[in-house]
């Protein structure tokens, strides 16, 4: 990467109007992939906004860690404030650090261990509603499930009855996110346009639900140690003033969105990849059959006899044979024995990272690989593109969970060739929560069911806030 300061970074031909805005919006992942072929640093323009796309681990580390203080969140998350307020995802500086310190205890290992039971219980409850041979939209199933898990674990709320309405409102916000990125959207949002009305209706729906949860908790005065309790009890260190309902709402809505949307997408793409790779699915089932034979107590103590059957109980469902099967739901204590299950999830997030692109806006002049990035430049890095770069990955387009037996997620993350949860001080606060939830739900459902893509169902990418399947994910469900 030689010094080329003052020179224009390579780019692709712009559109007739708006720089590269239409090309980016029409096929964002394809557009960034084309740019990556031109070099580690390339340029593009989104209307009047000048931008650089960086695609090398050293440059990503520079952005997230080495010179992180020179950058703030990009326009996408700045515009998201109209939806999420000053929550953890959108806040900056001292406010962000203060909010992160207050929220962090809710994601400590001990708390996540407590959440694990609710994760599995809700996963088991959902899969019990499935029938052998039926077809369902797994995208919607995973969204519904992870929304209930976030409500229950972080806010102590049962949102089951409202999950469909909340999910529809969340989907509207996600789909309308690109609308907020249009040039002059700050003014368009105030006009009585259909898109603006849909946006306001969805925001009202979510506000009604979240403010109701907050008010119910304030009235009850109960503190269960969950995130909501921490937010309501939190006080500013200097003034001693507690958080207002509006501040609590901003954090709650942010975590409702981030906490269910990303994991749901990761699981949906995982089911798709497993359906296309039966040998991988078979190896996953072998691990589940082995790891989930022996019953474990709440503290992980083995409660089974030597053959994996709970003490004092007969092995059910085998009619006297010694056929392997996953005899029970997973527990938090099983995670060390579900390494291949975790590898399947890691490989799915390599190919289809929910956070497919991460943007920053430069506050001060900087340079990447010798190319100037003046203050006000948008800098974009893409896990989707980096994770498929043949310089850093062997057979990058192949779904091969075995690669995670050769290298660890931690090692790949430290080298910034793998960053589905971002990096640096703004690394996703719920990463451990997401790994636990994704691994346990995958184990819980796959121990009983096999999913196959419905004949003729189209697969496409819909890169919005997260990387959603463009046409949903209709799959046929079969009992193992």
Q: Distance between CA 383 and CA 154 in Å, rounded?
A: 27
Tell me the sheet residues that pair with 373: 366
Residue pLDDT, tens place only, 440-474: 999 999 999 999 999 999 999 999 889 999 999 99
User: How sure is the predictor about 421, in pLDDT bands with cuts at 50, 70 and 90?
Assistant: very high
Q: Which residue has the tokens 């806040």?
A: 91
Q: What are phi and psi of 261, to 5 degrees?
A: -65, -45
Three-state SS for 96?
helix
What count of Cα atoms within 13 Å lies in the side-chain half-sphere of residue 36? 22
Element (H, E) at 198: helix 194-220
Which of 334, 478, 351, 354 is closest to 404 using CA atoms?
351
pTM: predicted TM-score of the whole model, two decimal places: 0.88
Ordered DSSP codes for 308-334: SSBTT---TTSTTS------S---GGG
Q: Distance between CA 45 and CA 270 in Å, rounded?
A: 34
Q: What's the pLDDT score for residue 234?
A: 75
The answer to whether 342 and 295 have CB atoms below 8 angstroms apart is: no
Q: What's the pLDDT score for residue 321?
A: 38
User: How sure is the predictor about 183, in pLDDT bands with cuts at 50, 70 and 90?
Assistant: low
* Contact residues for 222 (Cβ-Cβ < 8 A; gap 6+): 229
Residue pLDDT, tens place only, 59-69: 999 999 999 99
Tell me the sheet residues that pair with 450: 478
Considering only 273-282, 296-305, 312-321, which range has the smallest mean pLDDT? 312-321
Per-position b or e across 443-460, b if 16+ CB within 10 A of its CB: bbbbbbbbbbbbeebeee
User: How sure is the predictor about 6, in pLDDT bands with cuts at 50, 70 and 90?
Assistant: low
Query: What domains are defined for the chain?
Result: 21-304+322-479 (1.10.630.10)
Where on the phi/psi map is residue 265: left (φ > 0), alpha (ψ -120 to 50), or beta?
Answer: alpha
Residue pLDDT, tens place only, 13-30: 999 998 999 999 899 999
Residue 437 pLDDT > 50, yes or no? Answer: yes
Tell me the sheet residues that pair with 360: 73, 379
């Amino acid at each position: 990467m030689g010094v080329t300061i003052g020179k224009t970074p390579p780019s692709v031909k712009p559109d007739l109007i708006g720089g590269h805005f239409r090309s980016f919006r029409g096929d964002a992942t394809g557009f960034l992939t084309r740019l990556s072929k031109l070099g580690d640093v390339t340029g593009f323009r989104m209307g009047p906004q000048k931008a650089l796309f960086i695609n090398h681990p050293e440059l990503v580390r520079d952005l997230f860690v080495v010179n992180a203080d020179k950058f703030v969140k990009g326009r996408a998350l700045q515009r998201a404030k109209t939806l999420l307020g000053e929550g953890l995802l959108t806040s900056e500086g001292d406010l962000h650090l203060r909010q992160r310190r207050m929220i962090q205890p809710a994601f400590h290992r001990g708390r996540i261990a407590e959440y694990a039971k609710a994760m599995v219980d809700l996963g088991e409850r959902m899969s019990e509603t499935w029938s052998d041979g039926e077809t369902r939209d797994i995208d919607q199933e995973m969204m519904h499930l992870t929304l209930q898990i976030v409500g229950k674990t972080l806010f102590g709320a049962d949102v089951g009855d409202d999950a469909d309405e909340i999910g529809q409102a969340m989907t509207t916000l996600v789909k309308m996110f690109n609308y907020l990125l249009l040039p002059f959207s700050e003014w368009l949002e105030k006009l009585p346009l259909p898109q603006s009305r849909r946006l306001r209706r969805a925001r009202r729906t979510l506000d009604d639900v979240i403010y109701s949860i907050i008010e119910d908790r304030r009235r009850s005065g109960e503190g269960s140690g969950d995130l909501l309790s921490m937010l309501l009890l939190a006080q500013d260190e200097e003034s001693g003033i507690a958080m207002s309902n509006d501040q609590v709402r901003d954090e709650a809505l942010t975590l409702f969105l981030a906490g269910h949307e990303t994991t749901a997408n990761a699981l949906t793409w995982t089911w798709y990849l497993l359906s296309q790779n039966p040998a991988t699915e078979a190896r996953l089932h072998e691990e589940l059959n082995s790891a989930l034979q022996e019953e474990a107590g709440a503290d992980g103590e083995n409660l089974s006899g030597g053959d994996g059957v709970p003490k004092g109980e007969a092995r059910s469902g085998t009619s006297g044979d010694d056929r392997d099967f996953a005899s029970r739901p997973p527990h938090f204590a099983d995670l060390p024995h579900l390494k291949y299950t975790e590898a399947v999830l890691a490989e799915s997030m390599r190919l289809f990272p929910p956070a497919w692109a991460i943007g920053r806006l430069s506050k001060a002049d900087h340079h990447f690989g010798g190319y100037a990035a003046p203050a006000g430049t948008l800098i974009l890095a893409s896990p989707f593109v980096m994770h498929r770069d043949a310089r850093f990955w062997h057979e990058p387009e192949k779904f091969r969970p075995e690669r995670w037996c050769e290298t660890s997620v931690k090692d790949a993350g430290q080298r910034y060739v793998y960053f589905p949860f971002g990096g640096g001080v703004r690394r996703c606060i719920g990463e451990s929560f997401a790994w636990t939830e994704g691994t346990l739900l995958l184990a819980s459902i796959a121990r009983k069911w096999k999913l196959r893509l419905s004949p003729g169902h189209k697969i496409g990418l819909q890169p919005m806030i997260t990387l959603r399947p463009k046409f949903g994910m209709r799959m046929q469900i079969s009992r193992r």
